[in-house]
């Protein structure tokens, strides 16, 4: 598989990757192979509107099948060329998962982490503030674009998919930065009235 992924990268073709056990037979990822090693592949995603939309890292052991080139490769490449959207290497190192998470958080501000074998219907978005060979600590951001007051620790190798640099992560960061003092969730330990009294 690694040889075929490298061919796709060299030929600059869109690939379609399936993870049937995790996603089912009717879900896939379309994207350009930016980098790959014996454990992971880094894609720059092509979304349904035929735009480059962030990056995704998948684990080769989870991949059930992939098509090279993808079924609509010629169309997708033509539209991207007309839109002057070019594949870009985010220059992250796939060799060490803990270092990878820290680098993405530092360079892109947010990373989306899926643990589909543990939590198949949800994901966590935030910035990794610590990672070692076993666990990582995540400062999470909610769907209202506010940071949680607490950080959360997870098992490193529960991660099954990593995404970053996409439109949704960008939207969360933009909204959060615009909130100023309201950029953090109000702690349950400090009801609105108590905080208001403290600030007077």
What is the model's pTM? Answer: 0.91
Verify that 33 and 78 share a domain, yes or no: yes
Verify that 63 and 85 share a domain, yes or no: yes
Domain count, the chain: 2
Verify that 139 and 72 share a domain, yes or no: no
- Single residue among 67, 90, 113 that ends a domain in this structure: 90
Residue 191 lies in a domain: no
Q: Given this model, what pLDDT does residue 13 score?
A: 98
Which residues, including other chains, have CB under 8 Å from residue 95's CB and lie 6 or more apart?
37
CA distances to 45, 119, 135, 175 from 127, rounded to whole Å, are: 21, 19, 14, 16
Residue 75 lies in a domain: yes
Range of the domain at 59: 1-90
Q: State the CATH number of the domain containing residue 80.
A: 2.30.30.100
Residues of the chain with pLDDT under 70: 186-200
Q: Nearest to residue 156, comparing CAs of 138, 173, 176?
A: 138
Q: Given this model, what pLDDT does residue 187 score?
A: 54
**pLDDT tens column, 22-81:** 999 999 999 999 999 999 999 999 999 999 999 999 999 999 999 999 999 999 999 999
Residue 122, token pair as written in the block: 């949800």
Verify that 177 and 134 share a domain, yes or no: yes
Which residues, including other chains, have CB under 8 Å from residue 173's CB and lie 6 or more apart?
109, 110, 145
């Amino acid at each position: 598989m690694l040889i075929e992924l490298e061919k796709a990268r060299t030929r600059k073709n869109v690939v379609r990757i399936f993870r049937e056990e995790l996603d089912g037979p009717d879900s896939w990822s379309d994207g350009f192979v930016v980098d790959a090693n014996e454990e992971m592949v880094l894609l720059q995603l092509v979304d349904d509107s035929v735009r480059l939309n962030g990056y995704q890292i998948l684990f080769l052991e989870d991949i059930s099948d992939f098509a090279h080139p993808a079924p609509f490769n010629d169309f997708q490449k033509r539209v991207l060329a007309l839109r002057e959207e070019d594949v870009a290497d985010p220059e992250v190192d796939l060799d060490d998962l803990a270092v990878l998470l820290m680098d993405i958080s530092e360079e892109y501000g947010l990373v989306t982490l899926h643990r589909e074998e543990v939590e198949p219907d949800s994901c966590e978005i935030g910035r990794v503030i610590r990672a070692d060979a076993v666990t990582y600590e995540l400062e999470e951001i909610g769907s209202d674009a506010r940071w949680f007051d607490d950080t959360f620790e997870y098992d490193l190798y529960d991660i099954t998919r990593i995404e970053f640099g996409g439109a949704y992560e960008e939207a969360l960061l933009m909204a959060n930065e615009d909130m100023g003092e309201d950029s953090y969730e109000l702690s349950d330990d400090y009801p609105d009235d108590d905080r208001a009294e403290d600030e007077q």
